[in-house]
Amino acid sequence: MTDSKIISTEAILSMLCISITKVLSAATNTHISHSPMVQKITRTCLRPDIGCFVLFDGGFSGLIVINFSAESAMEIYRAYMIHMGMPESELVTRHTSEEVGNILGELMNQIVGDFTGNVGHELMVSITQNQPKMLTINKEVMVSIDTNLDCPQARRVGFKTNEHKMFYLELAMDKTEFIKLHDFEPEAVDPDRILAEQAEQTKQANSAAAKPPETAQQPCIDPNLFDELGI
C-alpha cells in the first residue's frame, strides 16, 4: 500500500512563494528571493506604501496580500519596464503614479495565475481568483476574507529584490490538509494555452505602459473595497 502524503498549509504557501519569485524574476530579469523562514501571524494587513490583494475560492478559500515599500515597488517597476524595452527617460519617478500600480497589479495577476495553475496540477483541485486590487496607502488597513472559516491561519514571508529592498507576502486561508491516497499522474500542461495566456498578459502590460505618465496622486481608498472585504 502506498504511504499517504500530506500537503499542509505550509506546502501551499511554498507553492505561492515559488510562483512569486519565478514570475517576478522572469518579468524583471533580476534575482528575486524569499526567506526560508515563515512567520505565523494573527491578521492580514495592507501596509505602506503599496498594498495589493486578491481573493481566491474553490477547492479552498484564501486571501493573498503583497505589501511593497516605495523602494521595492519602484525597483520592480523600473526593472520590468526596462526589460520590456521602455526607455528609462520615459519612466515615472513616483510610486504613487497610476502606472506603477497598473504594472504591479498585472504582475500580481500573473503570480496568482501561475499559483492557481500549479495548485490544479499538483493537488488536482481548482481555485478561481478575482481581479487583484492595488492601494497606495500611508497607514495599515486590516483586511479579512468575507466568509466563515472553520480554522483560519495566516502566514507572512519576506522577499528581497536584486538591490536588497524588502517586500512581504501575507496569506490567509482555512487550515487544510491534502492527503495523497495513491499515486497519480498530474494533469498534462497545455503549452499552447500557457503561451496564449502569456501573450495576452504581455499585451495588457504593454497597453498599461503606453499610457502617459500620471501625476503623483494622494493616497486614497475606494470605500467599495471595504464592503468586498467585509471590513
How many Cα neighbours within 13 Å face the side chain of 19?
22
pTM reported for the whole predicted model: 0.78
Structure confidence at residue 142 as a pLDDT band (50, 70, 90): confident
The average pLDDT across 52-62 equals 90
pLDDT above 60 (res 116) = yes
3-state secondary structure of 94: coil
Structural domain spans, the chain: 5-223
3-state secondary structure of 32: coil
Q: What is the pLDDT of residue 19?
A: 97
Closest CA to 58 of 154, 142, 147: 147
The tens digit of pLDDT for each residue in 204-222 reads 656 655 555 554 444 445 5
Cβ atoms of 82 and 74 closer than 8 Å: no
The average pLDDT across 20-39 equals 97
Cell of 193: 494555452
Cβ atoms of 129 and 112 closer than 8 Å: yes
CATH topology of domain 5-223: Chemotaxis protein chec (3.40.1550)
Residue 110 and residue 197: Cα distance in Å, rounded? 9
Structure confidence at residue 201 as a pLDDT band (50, 70, 90): low
Residue 100 and residue 71: Cα distance in Å, rounded? 12
pLDDT above 60 (res 195) = no
Q: What is the pLDDT of residue 2?
A: 46
Across 51-65, 131-145, 158-172, the highest mean pLDDT is recorded for: 158-172
- State residue 102 phi and psi, 5-degree precision: -65, -45
3-state secondary structure of 95: coil
Cβ atoms of 51 and 67 closer than 8 Å: yes
